[in-house]
A and B are shown apart, each in its own frame.
Chain A
Amino acid sequence: QKEVEQDPGPLSVPEGAIVSLNCTYSNSAFQYFMWYRQYSRKGPELLMYTYSSGNKEDGRFTAQVDKSSKYISLFIRDSQPSDSATYLCAPRGQTGANNLFFGTGTRLTVIP
């Protein structure tokens, strides 16, 4: 079983739509839950992260973690064409360098 499962999409939405991106994971030891954004032909960059369960909001982005169901979500409100990118969820355990697991990424296109 993979550590992280993520729907690869692609997902295409009109500008202004609410976007929901989701991942499931298998390891109950995961404590940190990151979302990386990767623009075409660029390296990933950290978008936001949460620690343990709950919600975290940053502008138009909200990250949500439900540890009981091992479910990770990223919501984008009022989506913009500049949000067009691949979004990778990345949960990790408490410590250690080799303890971060990336989902395959969901490719999002926001149409003006």
Chain B
Amino acid sequence: NAGVTQTPKFRVLKTGQSMTLLCAQDMNHEYMYWYRQDPGMGLRLIHYSVGEGTTAKGEVPDGYNVSRLKKQNFLLGLESAAPSQTSVYFCASSLPLTSGASTDTQYFGPGTRLTVL
């Protein structure tokens, strides 16, 4: 049981390049999330998904796209990277709060450190 895994762990991009971050979870969770974490800003939600084939915008969606083609995977894409997207990106997954769980604990991956030059 690996939990939430993220690929890659580190990446350096040049301005204008594109890339895709991959998140995978093996806990059969319905909900998945992408956050970015910056010093002094905390965790900010980029996009999230409440199920296979569905996605929605979070607090800071501009410059990012996502897809959830399979329940266990959630992809985050940067079409044209900018230095402002230098950050640590975390993926998380959870069960819905209404599923009978005592709380909808979010399980986080180890993060991807992205630098855009």
Contacts of A43 in B (CB 8 A): 4, 90, 92, 108-111
Given A100-B106, A103-B42, 15 more pairs with CB closer than 8 A: A6-B42, A32-B103, A43-B4, A43-B108, A45-B108, A49-B103, A88-B43, A96-B97, A97-B33, A97-B50, A98-B48, A98-B56, A102-B43, A104-B42, A105-B42
Does B40 touch A at the CB level, under 8 Å? yes
Please name the residue on chain A nearest to B51 by beta carbon. Answer: A97
Does B96 touch A at the CB level, under 8 Å? yes
Interface size on B (CB < 8 Å)? Answer: 27
- A-side interface residues toward B, CB under 8 Å? 6, 8, 32, 34, 41-46, 49, 51, 88, 92, 94-98, 100, 102-105
Mask for B27-53, Cβ within 8 A of A = 1, else 0? 000010100000011110100101000
Q: How far is the CA of A42 from the CA of B41 in the complex (A)?
A: 17
A88 to chain B, nearest CB (A): 7
Residue among B41, B97, B98, B108 making CB contact with A44, cutoff 8 Å: B108
Given contacts A42-B110, A42-B111, contact A94 B43 (CB under 8 A): no
Contacts of B90 in A (CB 8 A): 43-44
The A-contacting residues of B in range 63-117, CB under 8 angstroms, are 90, 92, 94, 96-98, 103-111
The A-contacting residues of B in range 13-36, CB under 8 angstroms, are 31, 33
